[in-house]
Amino acid sequence: MSVLKPFRGWRPPRELAHRVGAPPYDVVGTEEARAHAKGKELSFFHVSRPEIDLPAGTDEHSAEVYQKGLENLRAFVSRGVLRQDPQPAFYAYRQKMGAHTQLGLVACASVDEYDRGLIKKHELTRADKEDDRTHHIETLGGNDEPVFLTYRADRGIDGLMARAIQCELDYDFVAEDGVVHTFWVIPAELAARLAEAFTRIPCLYVADGHHRSAAASRAQKALRARGAGAGEHDWFLAVVFPHDQMQILDYNRVVKDLAGASPDGFLSAIGEKFSVEPAAEPRPRRPHQFGMYLGGQWYLLTARPGSFPKSPIGALDVSILQDNLLEPILKIGEPRTDKRIGFVGGIRGTDELVRLVDSGQYQVAFSLYPTSLEQLMSVADAGLIMPPKSTWFEPKLRSGLVLHLFD
């Protein structure tokens, strides 16, 4: 059973949505956010990345940064940049990226269901990032960015969502990256039918936003410890998409050195677990294949039969590469913390891998076949954790189109 709740969203008026909307806080660094928001006083980065309004070098996790975010949020509200809807509602949010389209339901998801494992995770979180998002939520008094959830597609819900987008649209704009964002307020009668339909969905899955969902849980516990009763803090902002509309891109690796081996010695070593052949194309054609860029040449690596377990984790391409090459040959034992390895989202393309190696910053690059949604859900169903940097979802949700505040 999946419980989703309508809420009174805080949103920009229609004519300002394209100016307020911004990429998620965690896909840019401080300087990227500062550059993106330059000359854009309504950019949501002023709330989600408020250090951009403080002197360069300010610690982005300092108390003054969180307070600046609250100050900017209050300014948006006082100026009418964000206005609260008069009635609780669900919202439909469609994104178009090239030929790909996905349609999600914007709703509040239950913190208690998250804590009980009915909203399933597949990644570990870092304490420092949880701390940051918890402080952010508590200071703002709500969720300013949604968690990206998914579920096994259901034809009945598909039909209801198709009806939702027949209503008058509220936002429709093209972002600077070419992604089209369209948004509807769903009428109450249809929202009630959607809420009832989701009670037949056995569980939801966190696709992206593990730190935001963990922080929502921590913020709820902190408020309860301070005497708060039931309230909006028992819910967190989410956009919920059917799994068959989701798009996962490859999440590629670059490594700074060959752990002391020569290129010829390195190629010889990887031949034990992989067949190695020169490649005309940089991308693998199927699972268990890998592109490798070394010394100005692309190679195709194919995992040899029997070189990896058939378990939900062991059969992941990220696991095969880590267990059979990165750790034993390149000595990358802990990719979460090892400074010799870098990760490049597939949205940047394989040309970025070539650039990083040819520049001398890295010595070897690996392109991977994308993880599938079925693999993600199988791992989560088994109560397991995927290796770091296993999935890169595109398109990204736009921040600032709707907020869930507790008061």
Could you tell me the two tokens for 118?
């009915």
> Helix H segments across 244-372?
263-270, 317-321, 350-358
pLDDT of amino acid 388: 85
127-140 helix and 210-225 helix, angle to the nearest 10 degrees: 60
Of 238, 179, 175, 183, the closest CA to residue 208 belongs to 238
Q: What are phi and psi of 33, to 5 degrees?
A: -65, -40
Residue ranges for the chain with pLDDT beneath 50? none
pLDDT of amino acid 336: 84
Each residue's pLDDT tens digit, 289-301: 999 999 999 999 9
SS3 87: coil
CB neighbourhood size of 14 (10 A): 13
Each residue's pLDDT tens digit, 16-55: 999 999 999 998 899 999 999 999 999 999 999 999 999 9
The gap from C-alpha 23 to its chain's centroid, in whole angstroms, comes to 11
8 A C-beta contact, residue 329 and residue 374: no
CB neighbourhood size of 175 (10 A): 17
pLDDT of amino acid 315: 94
Spans of all domains in the chain: 4-248+394-405, 251-369
pLDDT of amino acid 134: 97
Each residue's pLDDT tens digit, 248-280: 999 999 999 999 999 999 999 999 999 999 999
Q: How many residues does the chain have?
A: 407
- Tell the residue number behind the tokens 């001398």, with chain if given: 360
To the question of pTM greater than 0.85 for the whole model, the response is: yes
pLDDT of amino acid 44: 98
**Domain 251-369 class?**
alpha beta
Measured between alpha carbons, how far is 52 from 75 in angstroms, rounded to an integer?
16
Q: What are phi and psi of 77, to 5 degrees?
A: -65, -45
